Amino acid sequence: MGTLLSYPQGATRAPRFCPSGRPATPRGRWAKISPLFTSLWITRANHRSISLFSFLLHPPAIPLMITFTEKDHQEGPPMELLNKLFAQMLVFVYHCFDRVVINGYLSMLSRPESVVYFFRQVVGVPSVTQEVLRKRTEEYQRWVEAYARHQGIPIDWAEKKVRKEDQMAPLLKRMERQNRYGVYFIYKSMEQGSTFRCSIPKFPTKDPNYTLLRKTRSRFTHYYFYIRDPQLGPMILRIASFLPFQATYWMNGHSFLEAELNRTGISFRKKDNAFLAVDNPKVLQQASERLTPELLKERFDAWTFLLGPKFSKRERKLMTLDRFYAFCQVEYCLNFIFRKTFPIHKLFERSCELGLLELTAEKISQIFGQRITRQLKGKLHTTLERIDHGHHVLRAYFKHAFVKQYEKFQTFLRIELCSNNLKDFFLKKGIQHLAAIRSHFLPIIDRFASFEAHALQVHVDFPLFQRLALTIVSGHTKIAGIKIHDTRLIRLMEMLIHSGASVSTWRTRDLHQVLLKTFDLQPSIYTLTQLRYDLRKMKAHGLIQRDMRHYCYRLTEKGVKVSLLFLLFHKRICGPIANSLFNFRPSLQGHPKSKLEAAYHKADEAIQNTIELLAA
């Protein structure tokens, strides 16, 4: 077994393995962490906060020991532990890029001296003035208006506080129905962007055409082109209308996978940026590997050449005007699709509470594979939010990145790593390093998933009593449900349990006589018709089955479990505790030395503490 990565409280060291799998060289002494990093951070969401009863019923005093080893990291496919623990509940697992934001720079027009060279030596303008820069902007703006008019593409100013994706959804669906590709909408927006400003020197110079050109930020028009690409799927291109005409692309890896599956003829079901069903999961994973830097550059160059600012052949010949593409934001996700019968929603909510308490700075540093020092810049904490459609979102922040976990549709669990600055991972931001980013991010998600695999091994509530209380339709007849306070059924269950789960020699009349004698009932209080009605309800809910050859009733496997829960709830849990609260509470002194009595006293004390907290 490899070296355990567990460190003393209040101090950390770098993990003994790098995310790439190579052993890390230990350096320096133990680095003390300030209280700012070791304390628990709980962020309140916009609408809801963490439930009080969650912490009252499940106090954080119970430790959750989770360690990582070199062997766990270096051997086996990603998420091997979670796959092993939930193999029977999982349908398939896949990982891919999710939301990706890429900037496109005109490198030769990004500096003032390069802009001066372009206009003087290439264009042939003796003096670079504000009018010269404005002319380029106006030419491009007129071209965009003419392109939209000739192609019949709607163009409009963006409205504030309006979700653009919701407005574009009907137009995108129409493009998909018509099997068309291209631009289907253009938005105009006034935003801050990088540009250049010209000014006249304060003192005269030898060159009468000399002007001062400096880089600055200003508010000007940006164009958002909504595109449906045949290979990358739906994406957005934003182009600034001022020099240096910076371009920004928004794309999604799931859209690329959808296009690849449609091209190969693989059937699938996709909902809300997630694949919930696919004929061949291996083909889905192989498709995610086909997203390459060469493909991205090819598609970006094509759309930038079509929709970007225009340069003549002479200008392109005399000066390199190719764009350099760099990652601005990268999201890589690992997706688990569970069966609908698996209660992943409640398991995830409970695991979030445990993860919030156990994801300390020490464990976050282990997950991200970096050491914590006093010179750390950025965030380092854990939050639990409920802002995305009322769902829990567990986030662990590290510098300018974070890893989050959330669940949707009660079948879909996603672990996602988002980076806003690849320098935090010592990675280069050029798109040619796409493979390095994938290989670096996947082990981080793997380690976080190993942590959550332990946190998901918890007990959660199951609405058994609620389901039994529902009415069942049998043919054209409705049969009432079984209520938890139904005394008649509790007596019947108790007698069947004490009879060895079956009554193999009695008919219904004999069963009725035993019930009357056992519970000292009068025939007028509990009639034979009522007994037959109760047996019919238990049979409809699958709790008993009748042997037609011997005309007897037998508890099923489900019936034995339900009967035990009903009896234990009334006679061993709810009944004794209710008696302590409302009737008589036994004294702690001189009570029998019984584990059950000790548990009752602990429950009485916990309930009394809860009542005092609520009354405070």
φ, ψ dihedrals at 324, nearest 5°: -105, 125
Q: Which two tokens stand for residue 233?
A: 């799927």
Rounded to whole angstroms, how far apart are CA atoms 331 and 184? 26
Rounded to whole angstroms, how far apart are CA atoms 22 and 1? 16
What pLDDT is stored for residue 257 in this prediction?
94
Q: Are 411 and 340 in contact (CB under 8 A)?
A: yes
Helices (H) and strands (E) in the chain, counts: 21, 20
Lowest mean pLDDT among 66-70, 92-96, 136-140, 327-331: 66-70
For 5, residues 6+ apart whose C-beta sits below 8 A from its C-beta are: 15, 16, 67, 68, 69, 366
Cα dihedral 202, 207, 209, 212 sign: negative
What pLDDT is stored for residue 20 in this prediction?
40
Rounded to whole angstroms, how far apart are CA atoms 468 and 225? 55
Question: How large is the greatest C-alpha to C-alpha distance in the chain, in angstroms?
Answer: 121
What pLDDT is stored for residue 501 in this prediction?
47
Per-residue confidence band for 8, with pLDDT thresholds at 50, 70 and 90: very low
The CA distances from residue 225 to 147, 239, 487, in Å, are 12, 8, 68
pLDDT tens digits, one per residue of 85-144? 666 778 888 999 999 999 999 999 999 999 999 999 999 998 899 999 999 999 999 999
More confident residue, 341 or 377: 377
Question: What secondary structure letter does DSSP report for 61?
Answer: T
Among 405, 365, 436, residue whose Cα is nearest residue 17: 365
Q: What angle do CA 223, 170, 103 make, to 5 degrees?
A: 30
Lowest mean pLDDT among 137-151, 219-233, 454-468: 454-468
Lowest mean pLDDT among 64-78, 108-122, 569-583: 64-78
The CA distances from residue 292 to 299, 421, 436, in Å, are 11, 20, 11
pLDDT tops 50 at residue 242? yes
What pLDDT is stored for residue 143 in this prediction?
96
More confident residue, 455 or 458: 455
Among 413, 354, 351, 355, residue whose Cα is nearest residue 90: 413
Neighbours of 494 (CB within 10 A): 18
| % of the chain at pLDDT higher than 90 | 36
Per-residue confidence band for 67, with pLDDT thresholds at 50, 70 and 90: very low
Rounded to whole angstroms, how far apart are CA atoms 383 and 394? 6
Q: Which two tokens stand for residue 172?
A: 């995108």
What pLDDT is stored for residue 468 in this prediction?
79
Q: Quick one: average pLDDT of 340-360?
A: 70
Rounded to whole angstroms, how far apart are CA atoms 115 and 481? 79
Helical axes 508-518 vs 528-540, angle rounded to 10°: 110
Question: What secondary structure letter does DSSP report for 302?
Answer: H
Rounded to whole angstroms, how far apart are CA atoms 212 and 116? 10
What pLDDT is stored for residue 385 in this prediction?
75
Alpha helices, DSSP H, located in 214-280: 253-264
Q: Which amino acid is at 500?
A: G
What pLDDT is stored for residue 324 in this prediction?
94
Rounded to whole angstroms, how far apart are CA atoms 277 and 103? 33
Per-residue confidence band for 51, with pLDDT thresholds at 50, 70 and 90: very low
Alpha helices, DSSP H, located in 391-527: 434-455, 464-468, 487-498, 508-518
Q: Quick one: average pLDDT of 158-186?
A: 90
Rounded to whole angstroms, how far apart are CA atoms 616 and 613? 5
What pLDDT is stored for residue 462 in this prediction?
62
pLDDT tens digits, one per residue of 23-47? 343 443 333 333 333 333 333 333 3
More confident residue, 263 or 469: 263
What pLDDT is stored for residue 81 in this prediction?
66
pLDDT tens digits, one per residue of 422-454? 999 999 999 999 999 999 999 999 888 877 776
Q: Give the pTM.
A: 0.69
How much of the chain is in helix, strand and coil states, percent to nearest 5?
Answer: 40, 25, 35
